[in-house]
């Protein structure tokens, strides 16, 4: 009913905080970004109600490998820096590196971007980063969701989640079961912090250390902001270049550090002996340890400490793996070995 006096504006979705036109612009940008990632198996990708993907040919007993993840509070640093071009690479890396540990080939990726009010320029920057990550991983960005949730976020904030599907031949699954005493542990270097431990990182750098993103502490070769926003490395091309069946187990070193992740692939009765000092530790970790007076043990159970991905191989195969990776100009370190676990050992990992 209409009453007398001042007329109120009619309600609309846009006045309630959801801008459909802005969403359409972001969807168009996502479709353009995804175009460069399309594999031939994509039947229907970005733009529909769902995506269709044909399994690659050549698999006899294919198994799907599936993982989902986010980027955690590293997002706060991107928001502080007003830089959103690398966080999408982090999002892809966290999931594709996980399915890679199973020996799987990443096939398709979907993202979820949610914010209070959509800023098309920011969202497009994030999505382009996601597409770059997919290109690096060799998988297709085939869909996703962009959502506005007015009242659920502080102005300008957003959150991300990612979902990847990969495939692996049933007989080629890598699950660590074949690992045995005497096997060699190899480590591929990280690109710094990757996407873990940022709640502690932010506390140490900004609350305890009172540092700005423009600061350049003596441990770093770049500004703090540049260091913290280095994107997580994607290890797909390196690992998939290795001969079939040569790797017995792989670990993606994420939250929980080497301490929490390497034991996940060890069979009962085995212990991983990791030689600290067998690889270079990036300066950012020395900075954090200094700011927080953190013990070596706490650092190893929180951060990757310069090793982002670990592989276990038989001693007779170690030189072959090292040579293959070095031909690809990939740095790789012999970081330890597997031994029989003594009944008195409480942990499945020892730092020596």
Walk along the chain (352 residues) and give the pLDDT tens digit of each residue.
334 444 545 544 455 455 566 666 766 766 776 677 777 777 776 667 777 888 888 889 999 999 999 999 999 999 999 999 999 999 999 999 999 999 999 999 999 999 988 888 898 899 999 999 999 999 999 888 888 898 898 988 999 999 999 999 999 999 999 999 999 999 999 999 999 999 999 999 999 999 999 999 999 999 999 999 999 999 999 999 999 899 999 999 998 999 999 999 999 999 999 999 999 999 999 999 999 999 999 999 999 999 999 999 999 999 999 999 999 999 999 999 999 988 888 889 999 9
Residue matched to tokens 């540049």? 226
Instruction: Sort 177 into a burial class: Cβ within 10 Å, 0-12 / 13-18 / 19+.
Output: exposed
Buried b / exposed e across 307-345, counting CB within 10 Å, b at 16+? bbbbbbbbeebbeebbebbeeeebebbbbbbbbebeeee
Find the Cα–Cα–Cα–Cα dihedral 18, 75, 210, 205, rounded to 10°.
Answer: 170
Neighbours of 195 (CB within 10 A): 23
Q: How far apart are CA 132 and CA 155, in angstroms?
A: 27
Angle at 205 between CA 199 and CA 210, to 5 degrees: 130
Q: What pLDDT is stored for residue 42 in this prediction?
A: 78
Q: How far apart are CA 228 and CA 238, in angstroms?
A: 24
Q: How far apart are CA 253 and CA 242, in angstroms?
A: 19
Nearest C-alpha neighbor of 283 from the set 192, 187, 203, 351: 192
Asked if 215 and 224 touch (Cβ cutoff 8 Å), the reply is yes
Following DSSP, what letter does each residue of 280-339 receive, concatenated? PPPHHHHHHHHHHT--HHHHHTTS-TTEEEEEEE-HHHHHHHHHHHHHTT---EEEEEEE
Q: How far apart are CA 243 and CA 30, in angstroms?
A: 36
Q: What pLDDT is stored for residue 56 in this prediction?
A: 87
Q: What pLDDT is stored for residue 49 in this prediction?
A: 76
Give the chain's largest Cα–Cα span. 90
Q: How far apart are CA 196 and CA 232, in angstroms?
A: 10
Sign of the four-CA dihedral 20, 26, 31, 34: negative
Q: What pLDDT is stored for residue 46 in this prediction?
A: 66
pLDDT, tens only, 91-123: 999 999 999 999 999 999 999 999 988 888 898
Q: What pLDDT is stored for residue 12 in this prediction?
A: 42
Return the half-sphere exposure (C-beta side, CA atoms, 13 A cut-off) of residue 217.
Answer: 23
Q: Which two tokens stand for residue 246?
A: 């040569």
Q: What pLDDT is stored for residue 47 in this prediction?
A: 66
What domains are defined for the chain? 20-172 (3.30.1330.10), 184-351 (3.90.650.10)
Angle at 82 between CA 125 and CA 233, to 5 degrees: 60
Instruction: Outline where 146-305 has alpha helix (H).
Output: 198-202, 224-228, 236-240, 257-261, 283-292, 296-300
Q: What pLDDT is stored for residue 167 in this prediction?
A: 95
Q: How far apart are CA 254 and CA 302, in angstroms?
A: 9
């Amino acid at each position: 009913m209409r009453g007398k006096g001042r007329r109120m504006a009619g309600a609309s979705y846009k006045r309630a905080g959801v801008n459909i036109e802005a969403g359409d612009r972001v969807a168009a940008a996502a479709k353009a970004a995804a175009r460069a990632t399309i594999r031939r198996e994509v039947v229907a990708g970005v733009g529909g109600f769902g995506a269709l993907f044909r399994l690659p040919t050549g698999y006899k007993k294919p198994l799907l490998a599936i993982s989902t993840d986010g980027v955690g509070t590293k997002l706060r640093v991107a928001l502080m820096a007003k830089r959103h071009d690398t966080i999408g690479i982090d999002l892809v890396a966290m999931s594709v590196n996980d399915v890679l540990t199973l020996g799987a080939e990443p096939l398709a990726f979907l993202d979820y971007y949610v914010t209070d009010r959509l800023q098309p320029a920011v969202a497009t920057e994030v999505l382009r980063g996601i597409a770059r990550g997919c290109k690096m991983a060799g998988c297709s960005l085939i869909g996703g969701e962009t959502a506005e949730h007015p009242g659920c976020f502080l102005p300008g904030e957003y959150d991300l989640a990612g979902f990847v599907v990969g495939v692996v031949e049933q007989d080629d699954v890598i699950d660590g079961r074949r690992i045995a005493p005497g096997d060699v542990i190899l480590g591929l270097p990280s690109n710094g912090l990757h996407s873990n431990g940022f709640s502690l990182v932010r506390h140490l750098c900004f609350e305890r250390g009172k540092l700005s993103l423009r600061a350049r502490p003596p441990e770093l070769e770049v500004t703090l902001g540049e260091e913290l926003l280095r994107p997580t490395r994607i290890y797909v091309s390196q690992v998939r270049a290795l001969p079939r069946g040569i790797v017995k187990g792989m670990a993606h070193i994420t939250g929980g550090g080497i301490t929490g992740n390497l034991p996940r692939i060890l069979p009962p009765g085995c212990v991983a002996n990791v030689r600290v000092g067998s690889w270079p530790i990036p300066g950012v970790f020395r900075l954090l340890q200094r700011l927080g007076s953190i013990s070596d043990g706490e650092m190893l159970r929180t951060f990757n400490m310069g090793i982002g991905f670990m592989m276990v191989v038989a001693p007779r195969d170690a030189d072959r793996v090292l040579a293959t990776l070095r031909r690809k100009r990939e740095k790789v370190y012999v970081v330890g070995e597997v031994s029989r676990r003594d009944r008195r050992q409480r942990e499945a990992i020892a730092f020596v």
